[in-house]
Amino acid sequence: METILGLDIGIGSVGWALIEDGKRIIDLGVRTFSKAETAKEGKSLNLIRRESRLSRRRIYRRADRLKKLLNFLIQQGLISKKEDIHLNPNSENPWFLRSTAVNNLVTKEQLARIIFHIPAPMAVYRMKCESRIRARPAGIEMR
């Protein structure tokens, strides 16, 4: 004689059944409980914790991608050590370097700086540019 316990676990309830020999139901039932959410908004009680965890993962993954990119630039011989990417003796703007590199030759260090700058969050720069354009007085044109 074989007895099987079947469970149906949901968000607000747990259903169960005991079955004997796959044919006869011995007993069954449901236990209900309140959902784990706020009464007003209906949001999960775990929402803040989950969002913080996702933010930490995103920050870690971005830092890891930049570390891998630095190792690649060193492996390819564009820079000799990780600290070189942060040295900027001529205070060169990466955006200016990128536009210069389209038509002119650049050094290995400048190329490494350009490549390292590509995964930077572009949306932040775009938002800053748009706010500057909106803040200009009327009659001044962008070139």
Please count the other Cβ atoms lying within 10 Å of the Cβ belonging to residue 70.
Answer: 19
Q: Is 130 helix (H, G, I), strand (E, B) or coil?
A: helix
CB 117 within 8 A of CB 98: yes
Per-residue model confidence (pLDDT) at position 142: 43
Distances (CA, A) of 85 to 70, 119, 120, 137: 8, 14, 14, 38
What mean pLDDT, rounded, does the chain reach? 80
Domain boundaries, the chain: 3-32, 47-135
Pairwise CA distance, residues 63 & 56, whole Å: 11
Q: Where is mean pLDDT largest: 2-11, 84-93, 118-127?
A: 2-11
Predicted confidence (pLDDT) per residue in 31-61, tens digit: 998 877 776 777 777 888 889 999 999 989 8
| Residue 134 confidence class, pLDDT cut points 50, 70, 90 | low
CA dihedral sign of residues 89, 93, 98, 101: negative
pTM: 0.54
